[in-house]
Amino acid sequence: MKEKLLAFFNEKELFISPEALEALLQTEQPLENAKKIAEQPGKLFIELKDVPTSKPKITVERPANKALASQIDTRIREFDEYNITGKSASSGKIEDFISLFQSRFEQLSKILKARGNAIRDIETLKKKKPGDIVRIIGMVNSIRTTKNGHRFLIIEDLTGTLNTLIIERNKPLMRESYRIIPDEVIAIEGKLSKDLFIVNQVYFPDIPARESHKTEEDIYLAMISDMHIGSKLFMEKNFRKFLNWLNRKEGNEKQKEIAGKVKYITIAGDLVDGVGIYPGQENELETENIYEQYSKLAKLLEEIPEYIELISIPGNHDATRVAEPQPAVRKELMEDLLALPNFRMMGNPGQVSLHGVEVLMYHGASIHSMVPHIIDASYEKPEKTIAEWLKRRHLHPVYGEKPPICPEKRDYLVIDRVPDILHAGDVHKNGYITYRGIIGVNSGTWQAITPYQIKQGHAPTPCILPIVHMKTGKLSVIHFEGGLT
Ligand SMILES: [Fe+2]
């Protein structure tokens, strides 16, 4: 190389000092650097100071740092037949109530019948002799404890009504009886006596043994709910951290890697705080206009990369009817949201398949009518109520309590398709359960504790994000309430 350099400078009629030559030889590309030096006009002598001392900067072309999920095609199937939006046909007449309960009975008895054994109509029991063992399917009319400590259960089917008794000394069944709730459909097995039917066994429709679906792709589902945009208590700073994380600007390397794999976000209702939801709510609102509340949400969700699909349902604070099933919010109220290419809203409940993984979304307000009737259900552990919905294959069995049920021709609250994931919100308390292979999630909230919740003694868990790795079915959480953990 030394000779080459000397020959080069000779040809250019330039003189180079021994020190400069030595320094030039130490650089990464001596000949290239020699050419650069020679190009400088008016140079005759090349000294040490003319030689670049630092190694030349090597620029490497990096491939664009793309999120993995951005390379994966969207595969969403909405189960439209379970979406009430645009289909509500109820006029609130007596016939509507009859068809709602018939629909519930038929759908759930079909599931119970699939478990086998001869099922009889109540009417046919008249022909049976005392002592015969029979199994029937019925809707629970009422259940109460008798003076002697037995449980008196009246059930009915399309052919008649039956008085039944769970005997106090049958301890396991007594325990089970404290989870029997009005208006649900169950199967009972028992012995006929002269005037009564003594129950030996109770069967809930329940979830059959099955293999849950997973994706082939290495992607995540993130679940949020109850942002309550428009409320002064919306935790915007924390929500922005979540948005930054999705953009891989927040969190440690592992968390950023996961963020790049988030392909879907489900939103289980209470997107906004709404207007006129309860007396005095206006004092808690920052934005009193419902259009502006949805627009503000649109502004925030706009920050989410477009390759992440947002699938939402309404909740009881959203601008739709409170009675369930709830249709999606009317389009004209959320134009800015619908202008986002990756946003969609179904009714509540709503079910989708994401690459074959089925996600049932339900806001969850029926917890208010489940907790008083089920012995170990509580607001503290909303996941227990999720399991109870699955067990009875119904999201809101108790009629006549909160929230109201709209008498549609078909019962949209029956869990007809078995989901892989059930995502709920409403009580602002995170909770997780795996029930017969189904991942049940309550995704909590992004709103700080409200005066109402303080009065009720509720303890919300804001800004904790549940995520499911759809390839393995593994659930984990990311905390946005402080630093990212
Ligand atoms: Fe809420």
Q: What is the mean pLDDT of residues 83-104?
A: 93
Bridge partners (DSSP) listed for residue 79: none
Q: Is the pLDDT of residue 118 over 80?
A: no
Residues 172 and 190 in one domain: yes
Q: What is the CATH number of the domain that holds 244?
A: 3.60.21.50
For residue 480, report the distance from its CA to the centre of ligand 1, in Å: 18
Q: Could you tell me the distance, in angstroms and rounded to a whole number, from the CA of residue 220 to the centre of ligand 1?
A: 24
Contact 330, 360 (CB under 8 A): no
Please check the confidence at residue 260 and state whether its pLDDT lies above 80: yes
Look at residues 203, 223, 244 and tell me which one is the last residue of a structural domain.
203
Q: pLDDT tens, 349-406?
A: 999 999 999 999 999 999 999 999 999 899 999 999 999 999 999 999 999 999 999 9
Asked whether residue 162 falls in the same domain as residue 295, the answer is no
More confident residue, 377 or 52: 377
Q: What is the pLDDT of residues 27-48, one digit of tens each?
A: 878 888 888 888 877 777 778 8
11 & 143 share domain? no
Q: HSE, CB side, 13 Å, CA atoms: give it for residue 472.
A: 6
106, part of any domain: no
Question: 90 C-alpha vs ligand 1 centroid, how far in Å?
Answer: 26
Q: Is residue 296 part of a domain?
A: yes
pLDDT at 165: 97
Residues 132 and 275 occupy one common structural domain: no
245 with 188, same domain: the answer is: no
Q: What is the largest CA-CA distance in the chain?
A: 125
Q: Which of 298, 299, 329 is nearest to 316 (CA)?
A: 329
Same domain, 199 and 226: no
Q: What is the domain extent for residue 30? A: 2-50
pLDDT reported for residue 59: 43
Same domain, 149 and 241: no
> pLDDT tens digits, residue range 207-240?
998 899 999 999 999 999 999 999 999 999 999 9
Check whether 56 has a pLDDT greater than 50. Answer: no
Say yes or no to pLDDT of 57 above 60: no
pTM of the model: 0.85
Q: How many domains does the chain have?
A: 3
Q: How far is the CA of 196 from the centre of ligand 1 (A)?
A: 45
Within a domain: 311: yes
Whether the per-residue pLDDT at 444 is higher than 60: the answer is yes
21 — pLDDT class (breaks 50, 70, 90)? confident
Q: Average pLDDT for residues 317-332, to the nearest whole number?
A: 97
What is the pLDDT at residue 32? Answer: 84
Cα–Cα distance, 110 to 137 (Å, whole number): 10
**Domain termination residue (choose one: 171, 203, 235):** 203
Residue 188 and residue 220 in one domain = no
Question: Is residue 107 domain-resident?
Answer: no
pLDDT at residue 483, as a whole number: 64
Contact indicator for 29, 35 with CB cutoff of 8 Å: no
φ/ψ (deg, to 5) at 81: -65, -15
Instruction: Report d(CA 97, CA 414) in Å as an integer.
Output: 15
Is 184 found in the same domain as 75?
no
Last-in-domain residue among 203, 221, 236: 203
For residue 370, being part of any structural domain is answered with yes
Whether residues 300 and 228 share a domain: the answer is: yes
259 and 179 within one domain: no
Interior/surface letters 16-29, b for 16+ CB within 10 angstroms, e for the rest:
beeebbebbeebee
Ligand 1 centroid from CA 284, angstroms: 14
How far is residue 173's CA from residue 330's CA, in Å, rounded to a whole number? 47
Same domain membership, residue 333 and residue 228: yes
Q: What percentage of residues in the chain have a pLDDT greater than 90?
A: 76
In 3D space, the residue among 408, 425, 151, 184 whose CA is nearest the CA of residue 314 turns out to be: 425
Residue 253 Cα to ligand 1 midpoint, Å, equals: 32
- 12, 31 in Cβ contact below 8 A? no
Q: Are 431 and 363 in contact (CB under 8 A)?
A: no
In a domain, 267, yes or no: yes
Pairing of strands 343-345, 309-313: parallel
Which pLDDT score, from 0 to 100, does residue 67 have?
95
Query: What spacing in Å lies between the alpha carbon of 368 and ligand 1's midpoint?
Result: 13
| CATH code of 190's domain | 2.40.50.140
The pLDDT assigned to 61 comes to: 42
